[in-house]
């Protein structure tokens, strides 16, 4: 029994190392539950004689050791096998003593209704009607995968599962696992370093299945890479440090346009024809394996780094940061040197100046004339025009302006301008420069070729 107590205490210490702690009374009741059937009388007497009805871990340990010493002195053996969790049913190897003991245990089910025959005084495990139907072949006997009838505890380095009484209680803890739950109304995680955006504040409390409550201290987004390589962004995820599992709400996914499918012990999340994520059923829970994308994580635990204050203060210089730190104006900023900042280097870069070109005007009038059309205008002129065309001589900078009702009048106006300037100045129009718009179509090009322009 001493070895059993040491093993039990080792399990409690392992759970404490995983931040899973139980109250002293719960540990005492759990230790009593691990005792074999030969200790049933001791278990009942200790439960009834506990001071104020409370049993802590130390009390149960001392009583178990005293009972062990008493049994050794009387020559009785207590070396029977002990399971960490045990199903309280009738075993296959029943003797007369076991039959008498099982009858005395039915008293605690006096007000309990059987789920099979719906009669009070016993539970389904001890139902005689169920056993008679099983002998007649009306009901098939359900056994565990290993062929036995006792539930067992499975402990690995990645998962921790507590299974009691046909999987009534399940607990899973794994950093990369997300539980797909249709009973929760929010996404939740106990890990702060999962968040890509993080907003601290009071976001209420969450009521859990054991009637306990836990506070949500912040909310943000979590970006995950699923097993098939697709990125899944969970929005408005609440940070609840007191929970032990990462929870995904199927209701929230449905509101965001995703489609959840539960079939053949598998869960599949789709949007349209694209499969976003998949998960498998494990111990009555649907679990999804996903990896948090490190490049998108923005939440940090240390807010006092040198680079962070450099960014907060508009990329202040290292000398300025040290002056503020000496005046205790930066809360708990750690000493250090500023690393090379790409934004500061880009800010200090200068652009190469464009070469200045000195424009020289043409030596004679009408050597070069600039020609452009503007419009349509919002308001018509008194003559009903919406456009106007300008002609600017490069040598004299003289401007001629003509109004147009439509763009197709450009050629006629240019002919008038051509005849006017050549007659007034006595010079020939040699070259015109335009922006190559659509109004300068082939008729204007043909006219210019005919007159050598």
3 state SS for the chain: CHHHHHHHHHHHHHHHHCCCCCCHHHHHHHHHHCCCHHHHHHHHHHHHHCHHHCCCHHHHHHHHHHHHHHHHHHCCCCCCCCCCCCCCCCCCCCCHHHHHHHHHHHHHHCCCECCCCCCECCCHHHCHHHHHHHHCCCCCCCCCCCCCCCCCCEECCCCEECCECCCCECCCCCCCEEEEECCCCCCEECCHHHEEEEEECCCCEEECCCCCEEECCEEEEEEEEECCCCEEEEEEEEECCCCCCEEEEHHHHHHCCCEEEEECCEEEEEECCEEEEEEEEECCEEEEEEEECHHHCCCCCCCCCHHHHHHHCCCCCHHHHHHHHHCCCCCCCCCCCCCCCHHHHHHHCCCCCCCCCCCCCCCCCCCCEEEEEECCCCCCCCCCCCEEEEEEECCCCCEEEEEECCHHHHHHHHHHHHHHHHHHHCCCCCCEECCCCCCCCHHHHHHHHHCCC
- Range in 7-16, 163-172, 174-183, 426-435 the model is least confident about: 163-172
d(CA 60, CA 28): 6
How crowded is residue 315: how many other Cβ atoms within 10 Å of its Cβ? 12
Residue 375 sits in the same domain as residue 422: yes
Residue 141 sits in the same domain as residue 227: no
Question: Comparing 52 with 67, which gets the higher pLDDT?
Answer: 67
**Above pLDDT 70, what percent of the chain?**
78
* Residue 161 maps to a domain: no
What values do phi and psi take at 282, rounded to 5? -140, 115
d(CA 360, CA 253): 70
Question: Comparing 160 with 51, which gets the higher pLDDT?
Answer: 51
Question: Comparing 107 with 356, which gets the higher pLDDT?
Answer: 356
Residue 287 sits in the same domain as residue 334: no
d(CA 214, CA 206): 5
Identify which of 76, 108, 103, 107 has the alpha carbon closest to the alpha carbon of residue 90: 103
The domain tally of the chain equals 5
- Are 10 and 234 in contact by the 8 Å Cβ rule? The answer is no
254 labelled catalytic: no
d(CA 195, CA 258): 21
Q: What is the CATH number of the domain that holds 397?
A: 3.30.420.10
- Going by their DSSP bridges, the two strands 218-226 and 231-239 should be labelled as antiparallel
Residue 131 sits in the same domain as residue 76: no
* Residue 302 maps to a domain: no
* Residue 154 maps to a domain: no
Give me the pLDDT at residue 164, please.
Answer: 39
Give me the pLDDT at residue 195, please.
Answer: 85
433-441 average pLDDT score:
74
**What residues contact 440, with CB distance under 8 A and at least 6 apart?**
410, 434
d(CA 162, CA 154): 8
Give me the pLDDT at residue 388, please.
Answer: 92
d(CA 135, CA 141): 9
Residue 314 sits in the same domain as residue 267: no
* Residue 156 maps to a domain: no
Give me the pLDDT at residue 303, please.
Answer: 43
* Residue 163 maps to a domain: no
Greatest alpha-carbon span in the chain: 143
194-208 average pLDDT score:
83
* Residue 356 maps to a domain: no
Confidence of residue 451 (pLDDT cuts 50, 70, 90): confident
User: Model's pTM, two decimal places?
Assistant: 0.33
**Full domain range(s) for residue 129:** 101-145
Q: What is the CATH number of the domain that holds 205?
A: 2.40.70
What values do phi and psi take at 168, rounded to 5? -70, -40
Identify which of 434, 443, 444 has the alpha carbon closest to the alpha carbon of residue 368: 434
Residue 190 sits in the same domain as residue 289: yes
Distances (CA, A) of 215 to 53, 209, 212, 249: 31, 15, 10, 18
Predicted confidence (pLDDT) at residue 105 exceeds the cutoff of 50: no
Question: For the segment 207-220, what is each residue's pLDDT rounded down to a tens digit?
Answer: 877 777 888 888 88
Predicted confidence (pLDDT) at residue 93 exceeds the cutoff of 50: no
Residue 285 sits in the same domain as residue 319: no
* Residue 77 maps to a domain: yes
Predicted confidence (pLDDT) at residue 377 exceeds the cutoff of 80: yes
* Given 151, 181, 393, 394, the catalytic residue: 181
Instruction: Supply the mean pLDDT for the chain.
Output: 76
Predicted confidence (pLDDT) at residue 357 exceeds the cutoff of 50: yes
9-29 average pLDDT score:
79
Identify which of 210, 209, 211, 202 has the alpha carbon closest to the alpha carbon of residue 240: 202
Residue 179 sits in the same domain as residue 264: yes
* Residue 72 maps to a domain: yes
- Range in 217-231, 339-353, 361-375 the model is least confident about: 339-353
Residue 75 sits in the same domain as residue 118: no
Give me the pLDDT at residue 159, please.
Answer: 39
Give me the pLDDT at residue 401, please.
Answer: 92
How crowded is residue 348: how many other Cβ atoms within 10 Å of its Cβ? 7
- Are 85 and 76 in contact by the 8 Å Cβ rule? The answer is no
- Are 415 and 447 in contact by the 8 Å Cβ rule? The answer is yes
């Amino acid at each position: 029994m001493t070895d059993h107590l040491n093993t039990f205490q080792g399990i409690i210490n392992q759970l404490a190392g995983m931040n899973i702690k139980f109250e002293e009374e719960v540990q005492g009741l759990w230790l009593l539950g691990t005792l074999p059937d030969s200790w049933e009388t001791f278990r009942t007497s200790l439960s009834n004689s506990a001071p104020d009805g409370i049993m802590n871990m130390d009390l149960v340990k001392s009583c178990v050791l005293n009972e062990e010493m008493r049994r050794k002195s009387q020559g009785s053996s207590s070396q029977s096998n002990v399971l960490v969790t045990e199903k309280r049913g009738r075993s296959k190897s029943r003797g007369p003593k076991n039959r008498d003991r099982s009858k005395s245990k039915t008293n605690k089910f006096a007000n309990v209704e059987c789920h099979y025959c719906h009669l009070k005084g016993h539970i389904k495990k001890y139902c005689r009607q169920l056993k008679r139907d099983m002998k007649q072949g009306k009901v098939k006997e359900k056994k565990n995968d290993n062929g036995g009838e006792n539930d067992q505890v499975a402990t690995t380095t990645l998962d921790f599962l507590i299974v009691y009484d046909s999987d009534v209680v399940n607990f899973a803890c794994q950093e990369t696992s997300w539980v797909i739950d249709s009973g929760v109304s929010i996404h939740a995680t106990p890990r702060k370093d999962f968040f890509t955006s993080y907003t601290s504040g009071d976001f209420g409390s969450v009521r859990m299945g054991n009637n306990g409550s836990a506070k949500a201290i912040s909310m943000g987004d979590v970006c995950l890479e699923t097993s098939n390589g697709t990125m899944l962004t969970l929005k408005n995820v609440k940070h609840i440090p007191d929970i032990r599992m990462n929870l995904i709400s199927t209701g929230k996914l449905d509101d965001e346009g995703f489609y959840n499918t539960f079939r053949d012990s598998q869960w599949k999340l789709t949007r349209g024809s694209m499969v976003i994520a998949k998960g498998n059923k494990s111990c009555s829970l649907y679990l999804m394996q996903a990896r948090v994308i490190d490049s998108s994580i923005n939440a940090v635990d240390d807010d006092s780094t040198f680079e962070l204050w450099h960014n907060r203060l508009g990329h202040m210089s290292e000398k300025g940061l040290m002056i503020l730190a000496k005046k205790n104006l930066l809360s708990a900023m750690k000493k250090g040197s500023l690393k090379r900042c790409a934004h500061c280097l880009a800010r200090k870069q200068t652009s190469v100046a464009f070469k200045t070109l000195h424009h020289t005007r043409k030596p004679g009038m009408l050597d070069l004339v600039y020609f452009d059309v503007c419009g349509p205008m919002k308001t018509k002129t008194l003559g009903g025009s919406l456009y106007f065309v300008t002609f600017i001589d490069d040598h004299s900078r003289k401007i001629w302006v003509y109004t147009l009702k439509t763009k197709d009048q450009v050629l006629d106006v240019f002919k008038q301008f051509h005849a006017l300037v050549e007659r007034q100045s006595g010079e020939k129009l040699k070259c015109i420069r335009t922006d190559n718009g659509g109004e300068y179509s082939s008729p204007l090009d043909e006219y210019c070729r005919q007159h050598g322009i």
